[in-house]
Amino acid sequence: MNADKAPPSTAASDPRGRVRPLLRTRQVREFTDEPIQDDVIDAMLEVARWSGSSRNEQPWRFVVIRDAATIARLAAAGMPQTRLLHTAPAAIAIVLPDEPDRAVSRAFDDGRVAERLLIAAGMLDIAAGIAWIRGDVRPAIREALGLPDGWLVRTIVGLGHPTAAARTPKSAPGEARRPLEELVHRERWSG
């Protein structure tokens, strides 16, 4: 038996097959000019809404941006991290309370919802990429989005349809991640 050549299975008895949508989550940073349909945006927002958060506080708000001039302004403000927004026909800014003493906990929740949006994009046959907003860029982003005091944006998720180049994996299968034996310990670090 050659496990490498086994056909993909989605049977209930095949755990790896069941989590396949999570194994193929990829970030995309270059999009075509094809727009995103309204019902796809709505599904993304439902996924965002149902994200879990510390004590179910749901600290986030979301700004959906489809206006090309606003997206261009966001893209220009935070280079190079915001480069992917240049070609995105839509974006979702994740807005969180600006509380320095809870920054780590808020960043954890930010990561949870951002990851859900990436996974949802894959399920919806669109693509997404995370633009990280550096601290020095946040005032310009706040201004562009009209945020009130006390809120900040650390993450903007760009959405679109991937270009052919963006669809092409940049590394050979198996090379994009460390092997499990390098990442995993059993029972104890030394184990």
Within residues 45-84, the interface with its own copies by CB under 8 A covers: 45-52, 54, 56, 58, 60-67, 70
Closest approach, Cβ 189 to its own copies, in A, equals 4
Q: Which residue lies nearer to its own copies by CB, 83 or 112?
A: 112
- Helix, strand or coil, per DSSP, at residue 106: helix
Q: Which residues contact 45 (CB under 8 A, 6 or more apart)?
A: 62, 64, 92
Closest approach, Cβ 92 to its own copies, in A, equals 9
Q: Which residue lies nearer to its own copies by CB, 31 or 133?
A: 133
Closest approach, Cβ 30 to its own copies, in A, equals 16
Q: What are phi and psi of 141, to 5 degrees?
A: -70, -45
Q: Which residues contact 134 (CB under 8 A, 6 or more apart)?
A: 78, 81
Instruction: Identify residues 106-165 at the interface with its own copies (CB under 8 A).
Output: 107-116, 118-120, 123-125, 130, 132, 145-148, 151, 154-155
Cα separation, 134 vs 148, whole angstroms: 19
- Which of 53, 38, 44 minimizes the C-alpha distance to 92? 44
Q: Looking up tokens 């179910």, which residue turns up?
A: 56
- Which of 134, 124, 132 minimizes the C-alpha distance to 158? 132
Which one of 83, 98, 105, 161 is in contact with its own copies (CB under 8 A)? Answer: 105
Using rule CB under 8 A, residue 174 touches its own copies: no
Cα separation, 29 vs 128, whole angstroms: 7
Which one of 6, 164, 165, 180 is in contact with its own copies (CB under 8 A)? Answer: 180
Q: Which residue lies nearer to its own copies by CB, 72 or 123?
A: 123
Question: Which two structure tokens, joined as six digits, stand for 69?
Answer: 């001039």
Closest approach, Cβ 93 to its own copies, in A, equals 9
Instruction: Identify residues 3-42 at the interface with its own copies (CB under 8 A).
Output: 12, 15-16, 18-19, 21-23, 25-27, 37, 39-40, 42
